[in-house]
Amino acid sequence: MKSRFFSALTVGALIVAVPAAAQQSGHIVAAGASPAKAGASTPSPSSPAIAAIDSSRRYDSQALRFESRWGSADIKRGTDGASVGTVGWFRGFDVERLVASSPRAVAEARSFKTDNFRGSLATSAGALTLLTGIAVTSNSSNNAASPVLIILGVGGVAWGAQHLQLGYSALSRAFWWYNRDLSR
């Protein structure tokens, strides 16, 4: 009875210890060990440790984010922050194609495209109307249209800004889903 118990315990210990050691070697590799050492470790290609390392590497090299630059936004990829494109006022960069590997990201990218176009159009038209209203007012011409132009202009800019904000929120979600699906 005792010998059975000890042999079961030994087998159990072996089963637990081997994957644990493999996983630990995976963590060391992830922390910056050389690729040669990574090749020397023996876990199978489908082991969780390898999957975790692959997932981290994929995120490091592929994950997207965007940074704003005076009215437009640069899309950057990976730890180096390599620029892959620019979106903004009337810029036609195809975000849908960029995130095509993730269906939910594509849906958000479409939403970004729609809102970005509406926002760009409305803010431009609003700003133009507002400037016209200001010009009419500053010429001291007693034109009844000037307050209407100013109100319409401010409204257009505000509506457009709201859509631009919705658009960039959708872009943020698109990248969130895309980055999430990198690990799958």
Of 121, 95, 86, the residue nearest 177 (C-alpha) = 95
Three-class DSSP category at 172: helix
Q: Which of 37, 69, 91, 97 binds another protein (CB under 8 A)?
A: 69
* 132 vs 25: CA distance, rounded Å: 68
- Of the ranges 93-101, 119-127, 143-151, 168-176, which one interacts with another protein (CB under 8 A)? 168-176
Record the tokens describing residue 46, joined without a space.
């489908």
Residue 88 burial class via C-beta count within 10 angstroms: exposed 0-12, middle 13-18, buried 19 and up: middle
The window from 34-42, 60-68, 95-103, 140-148 that contacts another protein (CB under 8 A) reads 60-68
Residues found near another protein in the complex (CB under 8 A): 4, 7-8, 11-12, 15-16, 19, 23, 30, 48, 51-52, 55-56, 59-60, 63, 65-70, 79, 81, 162, 165-166, 168-169, 172-173, 175-176, 179-180, 183-184
